[in-house]
A and B are shown apart, each in its own frame.
Chain A
Amino acid sequence: MEQKSEWDPQIVGFLCKWCSYAGADLAGTSRKKYPPNVRVIKVPCSGRVDPLFVLKGLRMGFDGVLVSGCHPGDCHYQTGNYRARRKMAITKKFLEYMGVEPERIQASWVSASEGDKFAATVADVTDNLKKTGPNRLFEDRRENNGTEASK
């Protein structure tokens, strides 16, 4: 039997209900095998994903955040994914500047018929995160002790 390592990456995935969520569903119904590391949250459109969600995910200790929507041109609301792309691009760049490993912030285009792509994406993201290591960004032994100033 394969030895299970102690730590396994946890990913939170924000999936657009019109495409990527259906794509994930398809991956499931067609019995594709992919790592069970992603916790899925259904959103009405990738444009709904506020970068706040990404930060909050990391703050809660998720090792990676995946945002997935319809391919450019295919958004159910015409332009939501273009906006998501702008938001995710700056979020990724900005967090990288602050010292967050870029692997932790992932965005993809997955259509409702791309069960394969969804499975492959999750596998790949999981793999990369294993190399990156656990998210200790917001960890602190002094947690809840307030700020330095207040001490």
Chain B
Amino acid sequence: MEQKLRSEARALLEQGKVDYIFGYEPGSLKFTTTPLLTRDKNDVDRLVVNPFIVNNLAKFLTELKGRVGIVVKGCDSRSLVSLIQDNKVARGNVVILGVPCEGLIDLSKVEKLVGRERDELDDILREGDKVFVTVDGKKREFPIADVAFDKCLACELPTPKEYDILLGAPTSPIGQKDAGYTAIDNLKGKIPQERWEFWKKEFSRCIRCYACRNVCPACFCQRCFVEETEPKWVEPTANWQDNLLFQVVRNIHVAGRCSDCGECERACPVKIPLRALTREMYDIVGELFDFKTGMDKNEPSLMTHYEKEEAEGLIR
């Protein structure tokens, strides 16, 4: 897959079909990657495809001018399609290099399973649905479902539907949907006051760094309501009330554009289970309006469309 990506990327640059190639290169830490954006065809050999390509690159498209050859996993492709639906990205300006994804490895799950920090591990290797972790010279085997990100277990589209070049054979979802749902199921069993208390506690840890917003491909406003001063909607300092209000409103604002890509949760430095919000919103939108984010670029986006009769029970 990596070889194919490199040769395709080189060809695209050489033929002048794109101005940039946007993919992943090895990061400075073990088992990490970092985005690589380049116009130089000699850089393409740095491109990698591995189970650590976590970033959702669709985020940056709204800030790039020119034609971009972009590497996307299934989940990223949905964010990208959603941007196309919203006219934030022109389909003709992107060459989509689709990665049929087999699930990404969540290092914190690996750390828990082997009882070691990530830099103490010698090697992590994925072969099909197995993952081999070498630690202290010993090789241990885990099924991918045990070490993949929760969002990968709930993934509905591992292979991009919208692409120009597919870099490998299509893959199918690795997990049973419910495995990515535990947090929500636990919450739903509780009474409203308990649920509110839960979130109150979670958001009292929020430091309002806005990493969740800044990493989100659906958060593309030039000016976010939290930074408005006239009127001032939230206090700039962190307090749980405004932290919670911010996150709730953010989730509502990205409803129908959030594909539950999980980037916000991954970026959150204090580990607030944000996917328990995004997943629920994803389901609400699905139930009420039969809408799934970023599945079809020709479908109108959620908030630009309506049916004559819908959700009537909710309105007097």
Contact = CB atoms under 8 A, between A and B. Distances in A.
A82 interface: yes
Interface string B261-305: 000000000100000010011001100110000000000001100
A120 to B, nearest CB: 9
Interface residues of A, number: 45
Contacts of B207: 147, 149-150
Given A85-B311, A93-B288, A149-B207, A55 B245 contact: yes
Nearest to B307: A82
Contacts of B255: 90, 94
A119 interface: no
A6 B44 CA distance: 71
A86 B289 contact: yes
B252 interface: yes
Nearest to B192: A99
B284 A90 contact: yes
A28 interface: no
Nearest to A145: B239
Contacts of B311: 85-86, 89
B197 A89 contact: no
B241 interface: yes
A31 B277 CA distance: 45
25 contacts: A51-B252, A52-B252, A55-B249, A59-B245, A73-B308, A86-B306, A86-B310, A88-B314, A90-B252, A90-B255, A90-B281, A93-B288, A93-B314, A94-B248, A95-B248, A98-B277, A99-B197, A100-B196, A101-B192, A107-B316, A109-B315, A140-B240, A146-B237, A147-B207, A149-B238
